[in-house]
C-alpha cells in the first residue's frame, strides 16, 4: 500500500476515525512528485468524520490543499505540522478559509487527517 493509491484510499474510507471538529464538506487534495506523478483525491467529511476518500477531484470542492506528495503524506499522517507548512508556503490552501480555520486546530490536535490504521 502506498499513500493515496487505491488500497490506501479504500482503507482510509473504511477506517474508524476520530472526528475532526465539526467540519462538513468536500476537501480536494492535490499532490505532485509521487510514485504515480500527480495524484488528486477528494475527501468527504460529515460532522468531522471522514466518510469517503476517492480518486480524482470533485467539482465545487469547499477546500483545496496542494502539496508535494511526500509532504502531503507527512502532513496527513501527523508527521508534519500543517500550520507550519501552510505558513511556509509549502502547503497551499484555497477555497473556504473559514473551513480551513475550523479544520486546522482539530487536525493538529488529532495528529492526522484521519489516516488509516
Domains and CATH numbers, the chain: 6-110 (3.30.1050.10)
Tell me 115's DSSP state: -
Average predicted confidence (pLDDT) for the chain: 88
Is-contact 49 19, C-beta < 8 A? Answer: yes
- Percent of the chain at pLDDT > 70 equals 95
CA 34 – CA 106 distance, rounded (Å) = 27
Residue 29: what pLDDT?
95
Tell me 13's DSSP state: H
Residue 27: what pLDDT?
95
CA 40 – CA 8 distance, rounded (Å) = 13
pLDDT of 115 strictly over 60: no
Q: From 105, 91, 116, select the one nearest 48 (Cα to Cα).
A: 105
For residue 19, give the C-alpha cell.
Answer: 472526528
Residue 17: what pLDDT?
73
Residue 28: what pLDDT?
96
> Per mean pLDDT, which of 7-11, 18-22, 99-103 is the most reliable?
99-103
CA 107 – CA 33 distance, rounded (Å) = 24
Residue 1: what pLDDT?
61
> Per mean pLDDT, which of 24-28, 102-106, 109-113 is the most reliable?
24-28
Amino acid at each position: 500500500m502506498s499513500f493515496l493509491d487505491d488500497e490506501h484510499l479504500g482503507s482510509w474510507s473504511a477506517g474508524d476515525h476520530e472526528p475532526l471538529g465539526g467540519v462538513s464538506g468536500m476537501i480536494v487534495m492535490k499532490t505532485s512528485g509521487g510514485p504515480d506523478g500527480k495524484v488528486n483525491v477528494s475527501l468527504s467529511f460529515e460532522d468531522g468524520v471522514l466518510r469517503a476518500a476517492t480518486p480524482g477531484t470533485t467539482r465545487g470542492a469547499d477546500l483545496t490543499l496542494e502539496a508535494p506528495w511526500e509532504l502531503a503524506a507527512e502532513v496527513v499522517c501527523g508527521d508534519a505540522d500543517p500550520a507550519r507548512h501552510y505558513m511556509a508556503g509549502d502547503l497551499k490552501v484555497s477555497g473556504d478559509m473559514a473551513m480551513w480555520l475550523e479544520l486546522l486546530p482539530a487536525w493538529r490536535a488529532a495528529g492526522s487527517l484521519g489516516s488509516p490504521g
